[in-house]
Structure 1
Amino acid sequence: MTRAIRVPLKRYLTRFFKKDLLAGLTVGVISLPLAMAFAIASGANPENGIYTTIIAACLVALFGGSRYQVAGPTGAFIPILLSIVLTYGFDNLLIAGFLSGIILVIMGLLDMGSLIKFIPRSVTIGFTAGIAVNIFAGQISNFFGLTGLERHESFLLNMQEIMTHFDTINLYSTLTAFICLAVILTTPRFLPKVPGSLVGLILSTIIATLFFPNDVITIASAFGGIPSGLPHMQFPDITLDKIQLLLQPALTIAILGAIESLLSAVVADGLTGTHHNSNRELLGQGLANMVIPLFGGIPATGAIARTATNIKSGAATRYSVVISAVFVLLTMLALAPYAGLIPLASMAPVLMVVSYNMSQHQAFISIAKVKSLSTGVLLITFFLTVFANLTVAVEIGLLLTMMLFVKRMSEIMVVTQVVPDHENHLIDIADQNALHTYDCSQISIFSIEGPLFFGAAQMFSESIMSTIHYDPKIIILRMSRVPIMDITGENHLRMIVENIQKKGITVLMSGLNEQPEKKMKKTGLYAQVGQDHFFPHTNHAIAYALEHINKTHCSTCQKLNGNECVLDKK
């Protein structure tokens, strides 16, 4: 047993540890400044972001469904977390984060991982771009060192605060911010493997500390520095009233976290050729978000940029992410006093660049250029995210998307009258004048194509009833192209069958698929039509119909006498 444990460990140390160490250190260097910046922008203290990075990275790496996923605080969470802090307070943010973890676990247990993938691109791009605008706007005050501002949930009120207090601009803070921004933008040209955000923070902090240390607001002066010890575990004070109060914010955090983490996992799959487990990923994210609040951390999710960096840095296993978390922990313990010297003006360009990169402006413009219904969903989701809040934006965006989906699916539903030709094929007759040349006065055949659900049921009824211009003896409904039927579609089909049967017309059905058949059997419609009136193929239904029509009428039919009756050829 001992040898079985040691052999894999030895193989890992010789083959994979070096790659994971390099990737972990790279991700750790990037994660540390972002953790503090995201926490501050979310209305929390910088150490809360660091705790989140450490715990989330370890738990999601070990229990999540993606081998390379790097979890932690992200820019996408900033507006919603800040809104919760401003509305309910930081302590309640911890409770909302804990509840979101429970929701994520439930989503994973209910196999909802695959459903998140069906959220349309117009919605995700819309709210992501809106979040980017809010993040960028939220850093303007720190960039210029403005003072006396009151933070609001409303984008317009925050812009008004900035305009009102712009006369409090601090030139030292502005200079610090421009130095950091310039370094961030130029570092990739000269040092492509070095994180520009880290270099910008260090260089601008050194300049500010040496030349104007008392003229800019720093992490230490704003938050009292960063603790150099480990956080104490404390369970949030959860009550039934607080659960009811915070359930909607928690649900928003969970949905956004699920979307972000699974999108990140998909990106990782594309870069590595692997396949993640969506439900396990939700379970890992849920577990992490349940543990993080116990140590004062803010909600976390998969970070696309850090995950991509982990892969591009040569990560071989999921332990590279654990190494990055250990690096952040050790760095916090060793360098916490020095981190307090970082000016808030240096943090602002870091988040501004993050917001620009996450905005997906090219994708936004490409969708907007199409000028379709998806463009409307994109713009509505975007503007609601900016001017209302993320919860409303996602809810309205998904509602609009569902309505558009129903509309498009209803347009797929087609009901046409068909007749057989002399080669035993069914052909559509779109011209009603031509129909009189081919049809039979006793047998009518209708081909139904598309899902028979609530969005198309009314159109289906109207199409059938408006197409029947006479009372045949037998109507054949060709159902082979109806893949699914919901209870509303079944109800409309039932009304059609009942109306036809009241006129003494026999209803036959052919090619019924498995799901509609089960639905009709459960509701009793199958028995109402009659078990012997269902046929695997339309030709079988036609043969049955020919045996049950009025032969006397056929003998006087001019089409039969003129050899034009295609039914007689069957």
Structure 2
Amino acid sequence: MYRLLSPSLKGDVFGGITAGVVALPLALAFGVASGAGAAAGLYGAIALGLIAALFGGTQVQISGPTGPMTVVFASAITTFGGSFEMALAVVLIGGLLQIVLGLLRTGALIHFIPYPVISGFMSGIGVIIIILQLAPLLGAPASASPLIALSRLGDTFHNINPEALGLGLLTLGIVFLTPLKISRFVPSPLIALIVCTLLSYFAGFNVAEIGHIPTGLPDLQLPNFTLQDWSVIVTLGVTLALLGSIDSLLTSLVADSITQTHHQPNRELIGQGLGNMLCSLIGGLPGAGATMRTVVNVNSGGTTRLSGVIHALFLLTLLMGAAPLASQIPLAVLAGILIKVGFDILDYRMLKRLKTAPRPETLIMATVFALTVLVDLVMAVGVGVVLAMGMLTQRVARESDISFDDRNGHHSHHVEKVGPGVRVVQVKGPLFFGSASHMLDRIETVDKVIDTQDIIIDCRKVDFMDLTAIFALDEMVERMLQHKLRPKVVTTPSIKAQLLQLNTAYLTEAIIFTNMKSALH
């Protein structure tokens, strides 16, 4: 009750309605682009917008269909041969996984996703949207995938509908060139939608239109799938969940920076998951937190969850009464709006720095981008993460160092005597699967040194050891024993406890010490 009576009520109402005005053309366009129809876009904007506003962790966030989520959903429909019910099963699994991610408190992990992976994926999504909307912009039927769209470009340009092209170019002109002082009050996509639709209607243009949009509340839609498709559904569901989570949490970070507040990432994931699960039950398009709509909401005065609720109720009101009017919107107009969205998604910050950015990061970004556009969204994310992990592993492995010390502390890559027949091998840095083989190769030279009876492996400056490194160390001790050497390991108390707990064959308490003095005696 306090919220409704607070001074922020006016700002929430205006912010919510303004965000709804911005969301309307985008919801219709995303619905058509997905292959599910304009109504699915509206259903998704209403259901997700309402549930995420009520249960999410970001006060001012506006949620609804977004470009990346639309591309994944369209990919699901294509994968299952046009089966809308099976695509909804993907949305259901994706929403459920988002809730699980929230319950497992993984929201903070957004900060650990490599930027080149996000950049390549988002730019790839932007290019996919642009490529897929070229045909509708020219008055030709849309294609199901970027490769098919590119292969049909010749036929598309050969069969241009001049009226559709004119409407599309006018739409592009409006959305790209409308001055900011005007678009602050009336969003340029809405201006383009109204102006170009009225022009088409009164001029009697022969162009493809959205077609019938049902009025009233949506019917219950039960997702359907077969066990033989279960693995594909789960794979696409994981992609949808991860992408929606990343998209939403990035938008939450933007909202935090504008409002000087702090969102609750795990609660946000749960709210997004609940909203997407509802979308799957009513035939709605999945979505995520939408950056542009959120910024519009804040700039228009929205300060609480009420603004997101009003945004959803505004769209619901339009659905109940104005749906027949939307049926006459030309597809070329929606294509123009979506092409602008595609250009907005491109990561210009990374693209401007491709020549100066470190080569490994550039390679990861380019690989993810190419796989996203030309191959598969799931593969792009997987390959990008694996490449980033490999690059990180290589960098961490370089931090490990193995040298041989004499009693005076002089470092050398040659074996130096510490005492009669005693050698000390000093190991520094992290010791894990990425550096274990390097350690084995280096210490193998000690076996060949004559007049050596005792070898002390000094691991006091090792940050951590993983299981691979421990087993490698155990094998190393075994090899030394076979060469009639007496190995000793000096390490920290915590690592000593870890080594003894594993109860390996050769790393026993008799050869493990926590100080050098004890090992030398």
TM-score interval (norm. to shorter):
over 0.9
Instruction: Determine which structure has greater relative contact order: mean sequence separation of CA pairs < 8 Å that are 6+ residues apart, divided by chain length.
Output: 2
In 2: Cα distance, 1:136 partner to 1:455 partner: 41
The equivalent of 1:429 in structure 2 is 411
Q: Secondary structure at the match of 1:357?
A: helix
C-alpha distance after superposition, 1:109-132 (max 9, x if no partner): 333333343221111111111111
Q: How does 1:113-152 map to 2 (within 5 A)?
A: 113-146=107-140, 149=141, 151-152=143-144
Return 202-211 or 480-489, whichever deviates more: 480-489
Structure 2 CA distance for partners of 1:170 and 1:541, relative to 1, 3 Å: same
The answer as to 2:164 corresponding to 1:173 is yes
Shift of residue 106 of structure 1? 2.2
Tell whether the 8 Å contact from 2:487 to 2:511 is kept in structure 1 after alignment: no
> Which position in structure 2 is the counterpart of 1:568?
none
Q: Which amino acid aligns with 1:430?
A: S
Q: What is the aligned partner in structure 1 of residue 442 from structure 2? A: 463
Secondary structure of the corresponding residue to residue 460 of structure 2: strand
Instruction: Indicate how the Cα distance of structure 1 residues 273 and 119 shifts in structure 2: closer, same or farther if over 3 A, else same.
Output: same
Structure-to-structure mapping, 1:85-96, within 5 angstroms? 85-88=77-80, 89-96=83-90
Match of 1:317?
Answer: 304
Match of residue 485, structure 1, among 458, 465, 479? 465
| Partner in structure 1 of residue 198 of structure 2 | 206
Tell me the equivalent position of 2:259: 272
- Look up the match of 1:554: none
- Judge which range, 189-198 or 495-504, deviates more: 495-504
Alignment of 1:260-339 (within 5 A): 260-339=247-326
After superposition, what is the alpha-carbon deviation per residue over 1:465-499, rounded to whole angstroms, capped at 9, x for unaligned? Answer: 32563454544433333222221111001112233
Pairwise CA distance, 1:259? 1.8
Q: Which residue of 1 aligns with 2:57?
A: 65
Distance 1:392 1:496 in 2: 39
Inter-partner Cα distance in structure 2 for 1:53 and 1:109: 24
| Cα displacement string for residues 11-39 of structure 1 (whole angstroms, at most 9, x for unaligned residues) | 65222212211211121111111111111
Distance 1:273 1:189 in 2: 24
Return closer, same or farther for 1:308/1:519 CA change in 2, 3 Å cut-off: farther
For 2:224 and 2:491, locate their aligned partners in 1 and report how far apart those are by CA, in whole Å: 62
Whether the 8 Å CA contact 1:61–1:322 is kept in 2: the answer is: yes
Query: Residues of 2 paired with 1:508 and 1:14: CA distance?
Result: 68
2:500 to 521, 540, 553: 521
Q: Is the 8 A contact 2:393 2:434 kept in 1?
A: yes
2:516 corresponds to which letter in structure 1? A
| Runs of 5+ consecutive residues of structure 2 not aligned to the other structure | none
Alignment of 1:343-382 (within 5 A): 343-370=330-357, 372-382=359-369
Alpha carbons of structure 1 residues 51 and 522: separation in structure 2 relative to 1, 3 Å: same
Segment of structure 1 superposing worse, 114-123 or 463-472: 463-472
Q: Can you give the 5+ residue segments of structure 1 that lack an aligned partner in the other structure?
A: 1-8, 422-426, 549-570
Aligned to 2:148: 157
Question: Which piece of structure 1 moves more, 403-412 or 385-394?
Answer: 403-412
Q: CA deviation at 1:108?
A: 2.3
Measure, in 1, the Cα distance between the counterparts of 2:450 and 2:310: 78
Residues 235 and 517 (structure 1 numbering): CA distance in 2 closer, same or farther, change over 3 Å? farther
CA contact 1:122–1:367 (8 Å) conserved in 2: no
Q: What letter is aligned with 2:123?
A: A
TM-score, normalisation: structure 1: 0.85
Q: 2:376 — aligned with what? A: 389
1:532 and 1:455 mapped to 2: Cα distance?
A: 25
Q: Is the 8 A contact 2:20 2:315 kept in 1?
A: yes
Deviation at 1:150, TM superposition (A): 6.6
Q: Report the counterpart of residue 215 of structure 1 in structure 2.
A: 206
Which residue of 2 is the match for residue 510 of structure 1? 491
Q: Is the 8 A contact 1:486 1:519 kept in 2?
A: no
AA aligned to 2:488 is: V
1:411-450 equivalences in 2 (<5 Å): 411-421=398-408, 427-430=409-412, 432=414, 436=416, 439-450=418-429
- What whole-Å deviation, never above 9, does each CA across 1:232-253 have from its counterpart, x for those lacking one? 2232234434434422222221
Q: Specify whether residues 198 and 444 from structure 1 end up closer, same or farther in structure 2 by C-alpha distance, changes over 3 A only.
A: same
TM-score scaled by structure 2? 0.92
Provide Cα deviations, 1:120-150, integer angstroms capped at 9, x if missing partner: 111111111111111001111111112xx47
- Pairs within 5 Å for 1:47-62: 47-62=39-54
CA RMSD of aligned residues (A): 2.4
- Alignment correspondent of 1:404: 391
Are the aligned partners of 1:474 and 1:506 in contact in 2 as well (CA < 8 Å)? yes
Q: Does 1:258 align with 2:245?
A: yes
CA deviations 1:88-112 (Å, max 9, x no partner) are 1222111111111122222223333
Letter in 2 for 1:181: L
Residue identity opposite 1:15 in structure 2: P
Q: Evaluate the alpha carbon distance shift between residue 68 and residue 441 of structure 1 in structure 2; reply closer, same or farther with a 3 A threshold.
A: farther
Alpha-carbon contact 2:248-2:288 (below 8 Å) kept: yes
One-letter code of the match for 1:429? Answer: H
Alpha carbons of structure 1 residues 378 and 21: separation in structure 2 relative to 1, 3 Å: same
How far did 1:451 drift?
1.9
Distance 1:428 1:266 in 2: 50
Contact 1:63 1:281 in 2 (8 A): yes
How many angstroms apart in 2 are the aligned matches of 1:476 and 1:215?
86
Please give the per-residue CA displacement for 1:440-468, whole angstroms capped at 9, x wherever unaligned.
33443333222221111111122223256
Equivalent residue, structure 2, for 1:5: none
Match of 1:558 in 2: none
C-alpha distance in structure 2 between counterparts of 1:248 and 1:506, whole Å: 49
Residue identity opposite 1:463 in structure 2: R
- 1:131·1:386 contact (CA, 8 Å) conserved in 2? yes
Look up the equivalent residue of 2:478 and give its one-letter code.
E
Q: Is the 8 A contact 2:133 2:142 kept in 1?
A: no
Q: Which residue identity is paired with 2:271?
A: G
- Equivalent residue, structure 2, for 1:184: 175
Structure-1 separation of matches of 2:427 and 2:311: 58
Deviations 1:315-343 (A, max 9, x none): 21122111111111112223212212211
CA contact (8 A) 2:136 2:142 kept: no
Q: Is the 8 A contact 2:428 2:459 kept in 1?
A: yes
Instruction: Check 1:524–1:52 CA distance in 2 against 1; reply closer, same or farther (3 A cut).
Output: same
Higher radius of gyration, 1 or 2:
1
Within the candidate set 220, 240, 243, 2:227 is matched to: 240
The SS at the match of 2:207 is coil
What is the match of residue 20 of structure 2? 28
* Residues 43 and 283 in structure 2, CA contact (< 8 A), matched pair in contact too: yes
Aligned to 2:69: 77
